[in-house]
Chains A and B, each alone.
Chain A
Amino acid sequence: MIEVLELTKHYNDVPAVNAISFQVAEGETLGLIGTSGCGKTTTLKMLNRLIKPTSGRVSIGGKDIRQSPPEQLRQHIGYVIQNIGLFPHYTVADNIAVVPRLLRWKEKRISQRAAELLEMVGLPPEKFAQRYPHELSGGQQQRVGLARALAANPPVVLLDEPFGALDQITRRQIQQEFKRLGGLLHKTMVLVTHDVFEAITLCDRICLMDQGNIQQIGTPKDLVFAGLNDFVRDFFQTNRFQLELQVTRLQDLLPWLPHKEDRESHADGYQTSQSLLEVLEDAGTSAAGASQITMIHPDNTVRQITSCEDLLLAFYQYKKTFQLA
């Protein structure tokens, strides 16, 4: 869906982005991560022409982005920024309606769409549509920002540290909702973030940059378990264990878990798509929970029983598979 070829940006002969190339498949979420000044935000802004590249090519949907007028290009790309940037003098509904109005949608369709989006982001329209941004909390504002970006149903959404201005707790909450939402929407997304945990949780693939160059692109698992160079390995060294647990899903561990089925109990269980970290954090709070963990396969077919111990043992086995490669 998005193709970037030898994209370069120089500021006074200093390369902020150094001839990088990557692709983002349709429906995929790509994370751009790296240290401050590595060029991730510059790269993002070259995708919607907010920054003009020094050289290189960007095409979206097969079309070179230089072929459309910039305003038109941007009206078909959702854009979410850290400080949100809601228009303070517009109501929530009017904020969401900005791009649809630019595209000359009929008013009725616009208000329907706004209501729909507000429901989707968890802000009931009856309560929130006529409010002004200053009446909302940071988290609520960011949700409106998201709704606004999705208003005209753009195929591509660009997000620049979208949750950066929120506190830790709100951030985790919103990330979960975002993950769930992302699954529903099937949009192609590029997400810039400095929050490594966020990147590995929300993104299908991650592109790690340093000083304008790509150090590695791959799935979160690739980067966490199989870093290609010292830089990548060092980058994920902080909280490494936590990251590894987050990246690993229950389903990855099945090969190493005893097959004990549970036909009778209707106790709560965990989807096999959930991350190991989530499950351990939740189950590990009590001794009982830790020893009896129910895993539910997709389609609710099989319910398998395991324990924290077994899971961890399986985890180390799983890890080994990466070292052998």
Chain B
Amino acid sequence: MQLWQFFVSHQQEILQQTITHLVLTAISTTIAILVGVSTGLVLTRYPKAANQVIGVVSVIQTIPSVALLGFLLPVLGIGPEPAIVALFLYALLPILRNTYTGIEEVDRSVTEAAKGMGMPNRQILLKVELPLAIPVIFAGIRTATVATVGIATLSALIGSGGLGTFIFRGIALNNVDMILAGAIPAAALAVLLDFGLGLLQPQVLRLLKPILVGVAIIFLLLLSQVVLSNLRPQPLKAGFTSEFVERADGYPGLQQHYDLSLDSVELDPGLMYEAIREKKVDVVSGFTTDGRIDAYNLTVLEDDQQYFPPYYAAPVVRGATLRKYPQLQPALAELAGKLSDETMIQLNDRVDRLKEPTQTVVQDFLNQSGFKTTINRQGKPDIIIGSKNFTEQYLLAEMMGIVIENSTDLDVELNTGLAGTKICFDALKKGAIDLYPEYTGTGLLVILQADEKTLDEVGQDREDVFQYVQKESKQRHDLAWLPSFGFNNSYALIMRTEDTKKRDILSISDLKRYLESL
């Protein structure tokens, strides 16, 4: 079975990530138990404060986990630390609340009798209330543990590792086996932990002391590991998107071509620029027309060995759609060559840094270039325009939409923000979308999956690449590449400008030399 083969071929990494996942869960849950149980016990002595404290913790739970992870990024950086903090916060509520409720619900006659007999308060808590509350407290711990395993999959977004890495990579690359390689072990882990805790519950009072000692030891070991690995001086840390890591024209090829090896983590594309600005990473994968490069004082490293192919942006349309609506061709031809590199960077900058709305930026540009820009999106569309999930793509999709609407009698709808090249391509083939903006280099390497020989033949020449891609796409997939917008948006390695100056790194080869010199 295909899935099984995937598991076998990736078993090393799956095992590693499972252990990481387990460690993340274990550390955060342990801290949550320590804090939650002790706080819950204290609150039973101050019932008036209890409602407020529990209320505050409940609010934390309502914050979407991804939002919390992003929020912690500038404060704690990327990697396991912010993940553990976020996971701890989420595990806290069930444990805290159950501890408080468990103790409160102990039969009042029992505590009254204990008090009336002359039992000191501390003994009443430890010998009477706590043991009787254990079933409820334990239920809270089990809930928290299982939930933590689930949420820990999300922490992969900020480079913590864990089984979420597979899930997000699989989503970016539209690879179901990869998604399952992350999801199945995560589910299994949750079930096993819950089961194990269930077995432990009846024995927990008896085994309390050895459990506490054992947990303390393991916990300190793990914590020291995490702390030590972060204290070791890191030369340079890189943050890459999942797509960059898996694409042939991304990191793997780069490693080979430049004989380069970086200590890297996988990040959500949205968090990458924050991460490099906050110095949590030193190198990121990016695009040459990204407006944030100037805004965040970043520098693009020169591709001196000419590894990355040209990535000229152009509309890619379904053959069937083009035949049905031939007026699309002259309409979109109006945009051919209209966007220079600088123009695209400016447009990106307006959206990313100045936070202007996409539509406004596009309309301004088109108006200046003499286009009409009325927008009237109602009723059933004739054309659906897709796009990937970064700013430039949103801009291009909007641009094509407005031009088509105004130059033809066709109605347009946008279905943007698709999470990757493969997803767009599949949508296009299936007819879920009719066209989207793609890059020649991506078409060459990812969609057509050109081999070494073809790459050598076609080389770095802009026209050659375009011709090849146009011909093969038509032949193999009945997709038409229309003339490009004019700008080249290449993959790039990007660093902070101050770093490039300080370490004298201008190109990717310079980077390699720098790493070797350490």
A72 to chain B: which residues have CB within 8 Å? 118
Known contacts A83-B109, A85-B107, A85-B112; A99/B117 CB under 8 A: yes
Between A50, A70, A85, A102, the greatest number of chain B beta carbons within 10 A of the residue's beta carbon is seen for: A85
> Main secondary structure on chain A at its contact with chain B?
mixed
A86 at the interface (CB under 8 A from B): yes
Contacts of A79 in B (CB 8 A): 113, 116-117
Q: Is A50 within 8 A of B120, CB to CB?
A: no
Residues facing B in A130-152 (CB within 8 A) are 145, 148-149
A87's contact among B115, B118, B120, B128, by CB below 8 Å, is which?
B128
| Interface size grouping (class) on chain A | 20 to 34
Contact status of A81 and B112, CB under 8 A, knowing A87-B128, A89-B131: yes
Interface of B, helix, strand, loop or mixed by DSSP: helix
A75 vs B128: C-alpha distance when bound (angstroms) = 17
Closest residue on chain B to residue A99 by CB atoms: B117
Residues of B contacting A99 in the complex (Cβ-Cβ under 8 angstroms): 117-118
Q: How many residues of B contact A (CB 8 A)?
A: 17
Please name the residue on chain B nearest to A98 by beta carbon. B117
Distance, CA A86 to CA B113, complexed state (A): 8
Beyond A85-B114, A89-B132, whether A71 also contacts B119 by CB under 8 A is yes
Judge whether B117 and A81 touch: CB under 8 Å: no
Chain A 44-61 against B: per-residue CB contact (8 Å), 1 yes, 0 no?
Answer: 000010100000000000
Looking across the interface, which residue of chain B has its beta carbon closest to that of A73?
A: B118
Chain A residues near B109 (CB-CB < 8 A): 81-85
Bound CA–CA A171/B395 (angstroms): 86
CB contact between B113 and one of A75, A76, A81, A102 (< 8 Å): that residue: A81
- Do B119 and A85 touch (CB < 8 A)? no
Min Cβ gap A105→B in Å is 14
Q: How far is the CA of A48 from the CA of B112 in the complex (A)?
A: 12
Write the nearest CB–CB distance from B203 to chain A, whole angstroms. Answer: 14
Contacts of B227 in A (CB 8 A): none
Instruction: Assess the B132–A75 pair: CB atoms within 8 A.
Output: no
User: A124 interface residue, CB < 8 Å from B?
Assistant: no
B119 surroundings in chain A (CB, below 8 A) = 71, 98, 102
How would residues 352 to 381 of chain B score, 1 for a CB under 8 Å from any chain A CB and 0 otherwise? 000000000000000000000000000000
Best-buried of B111, B113, B119, B132 by chain A (most CB within 10 Å): B113
Q: Are A88 and B118 in contact (CB under 8 A)?
A: no
B221 within 8 A of A: no
Contact status A88-B115, CB under 8 Å: no
Q: Which residues of A contact B115 (CB under 8 A)?
A: 50, 74
Within 8 A of A (CB), among B107-139: 107, 109-120, 123, 128, 131-132
Question: CA–CA, A296 to B107, complex, Å?
Answer: 49
Write out the residue numbers on chain A whose beta carbons fall within 8 Å of the beta carbon of B123: 102
Q: Is B118 touching A50 in the complex (CB atoms < 8 A)?
A: no
A81-B112, A83-B109, A85-B107 in contact; A74/B117 too (CB < 8 A)?
yes
Q: Which residues in A have their C-beta under 8 angstroms from that of B112?
A: 50, 81, 85
Question: In the complex the two chains form, what is the Cα distance from A83 to B132 in whole Å?
Answer: 17
Contact B116 A74 (CB under 8 A): yes
Chain B residues, CB < 8 A from A89: 131-132
- If A85-B107, A87-B128, A88-B132 touch, whether A50 touches B116 (CB-CB below 8 Å) is yes
CB distance from A44 to the nearest CB of B (A): 10
Q: Which residues of B contact A86 (CB under 8 A)?
A: 110, 113
Is B118's CB under 8 angstroms from A71's CB? yes
For A145, the chain B residues whose CB sits under 8 A away are 113
Chain B proximity of A94: nearest CB distance (Å): 10
- Nearest-Cβ distance from residue B121 to partner chain A, whole angstroms: 8
Q: Is A102 in contact with B110, judged by CB distance below 8 angstroms?
A: no
Which residue of A48, A87, A88, A102 is within 8 Å of B116 (Cβ)?
Answer: A48
Q: How far is B220's CA from A249's CA once the two chains are assembled, in angstroms?
A: 76
A4 to B120, CA, bound (A): 25
- 18 A-B residue contacts at CB 8 Å? A48-B116, A50-B112, A70-B118, A71-B118, A71-B120, A74-B115, A74-B116, A74-B118, A84-B109, A85-B111, A85-B113, A85-B114, A86-B110, A88-B107, A88-B132, A99-B117, A102-B117, A145-B113
Apart from A84-B113, A98-B114, list 13 A-B contacts with CB within 8 A: A50-B116, A71-B119, A72-B118, A74-B115, A74-B118, A75-B118, A79-B113, A82-B109, A84-B109, A85-B114, A86-B113, A87-B110, A158-B116
7 pairs of A and B residues whose beta carbons are closest in the complex: A85-B113, A74-B118, A75-B118, A83-B109, A79-B116, A85-B109, A71-B118
Residues of A within 8 A of B (CB): 48, 50, 70-77, 79, 81-89, 98-99, 102, 145, 148-149, 158
